[in-house]
Amino acid sequence: MLMATVSCKINGKDQTLEVDPQMPLLWAIRDVARLKGTKYGCGVAQCGACVLHLNGEAVRSCVTRVTRAEGQKVVTIEGLSENNDHPLQVAWQEIDVPQCGYCHSGQIMSAAVLLRENPNPTDQDIDRAMGGNICRCGTYPRIRKAIHRAAEMLRSGGKRNGTDL
């Protein structure tokens, strides 16, 4: 089998990954680029634990081949902000959203795309954007609250989405 060389920008840094071209981006990010914040949850695009940004879109890295990242920009939870201070991260901390915390990398990465496209989301907008992310601990009421809170911060001049999209 031929190994592929995938060159992409991960969290702002140019990287070259030597990988099996069939490998999903999730495992390349976790086991090759060794960024463990992006999680494996289901492997079939059902749960959203593996959501990261590929050119700014909230792709499910478990079903996305690593080769799709060639020449593209990848942002993971580790790269969403430099100091854990993206408005969503701040809101998540203020409201103490996570319980076990496992799904929240994906939750936050999904929410970041929502806020970029819709800085003033309604409850229905949140339902429509976040339906792909499962939280077994049931933190949904707080996720909703935190997204509203982050939107409020953005509107009142808080830090814009810090990602290099």
Partner 1 sequence: MNGGNKRYTGNRFWLTACTLVFGLGLLVAMAPDFTGGKKPRELTPDDNPVIKKDSAASIKAFASVYKVLMSPRCMNCHPSGDVPLQGDDSHLHIMQPTRGKDGKGISAMKCANCHQPANTPGLHTPPGNPNWHLPPADMKMVFQGKTPRQLARQLVDPEQNGHKDLRKLLEHVNDTLVIAGWHPGEGRTTPPLPYAEFKKAWITWIENGAYAPKK
Partner 2 sequence: MGGAMLSLGFYVPSAGKEATIVKTTEAEGFGVELNAWIHIDTSGKVTIFSHRAEMGQGVYQAIPQIIAEELEVNLDEVNIVFAKGDNKKYGNQVTGGSSSVRTTYKNLLKLSATAREMLMEAAANRWKVSRAECYAESGHVFHKPSKRKYHYGELVLDASKLQAPEQVTLKKRSEYKLIGKPLRRQDTRMKTNGTAIFGLDKEIPGMLYAVVERNPRLRGVVKSVDDTDALKVPGVKRVVKVRMGVFSTYREGVAVVADSAWQAMQGRKALRVTWDDTGFEHQNTEQIFRRQADELKNNEGLSFKTQGDVNAILNGASDKIDVVYQTPYQQHACMEPLNCVAHWQGDKVEIWGPIQAPDWVQDYISKEMNLPRENVIVNMTFLGGGFGRKAFMDYPHEAVVISKVIGAPVQVVWTREDDMTQGPYRPGISYRCEGVVTNGEISAFKVKMAGQNNDHWRGGPKDKPNRSTSEGLLKPYFDSIKNLSIQDIPFETPIPTMWWRSVYASTNGFAYESFLDELAVAAGKDPLEFRRSYLKDERAQKLIDRMQEVSGWKKRKKGDGFGVAITECFNSTVGQVVKVSKQPSGGVKIDRVWAVMDCGWYVNPDTIKAQVEGSIVMALGAATMHEIRFEDGLTVQKNFYAYPMPRIYDIPPIEVYIMENDADAGGVGEPGLPAFAPALTNAIFDLTGKRIRKLPFDLNTVSS
- Tell me which residues touch partner 2 (CB under 8 A): 1, 3, 20, 22-24, 27, 30-32, 34-44, 46-47, 49, 76-78, 80-81, 84, 88-89, 92-94, 96-105, 108, 126-128, 130-131, 133-144
The DSSP result for the chain, as a single string, is ---EEEEEEETTEEEEEEE-TTSBHHHIIIIIS--TTS--S-SSSSS-TTEEEETTEEEETTSSBGGGGTTSEEE-GGGS-SSS-SHHHHHHHHHT--SS-TTHHHHHHHHHHHHHH-SS--HHHHHHHHTT---TT--HHHHHHHHHHHHHHHHTT-PPP----
**Residue 129 binds partner 1, judged by CB under 8 A:** yes
Site string for partner 1, 76-115 (x = CB under 8 A): ---------------------------------xxx-xx-
125 or 152, CB closer to partner 1? Answer: 125
> In a 3-state reduction of DSSP, which class is residue 43?
coil
Site string for partner 1, 51-80 (x = CB under 8 A): x-----xxxx--xxx--x------------
Which one of partner 1, partner 2, none interacts with residue 110, CB within 5 to 8 A by kind? partner 1
Residues of the shown chain interacting with partner 1 in the complex, contacts defined by CB under 8 A: 43-46, 51, 57-60, 63-65, 68, 109-111, 113-114, 116-118, 125, 127-133
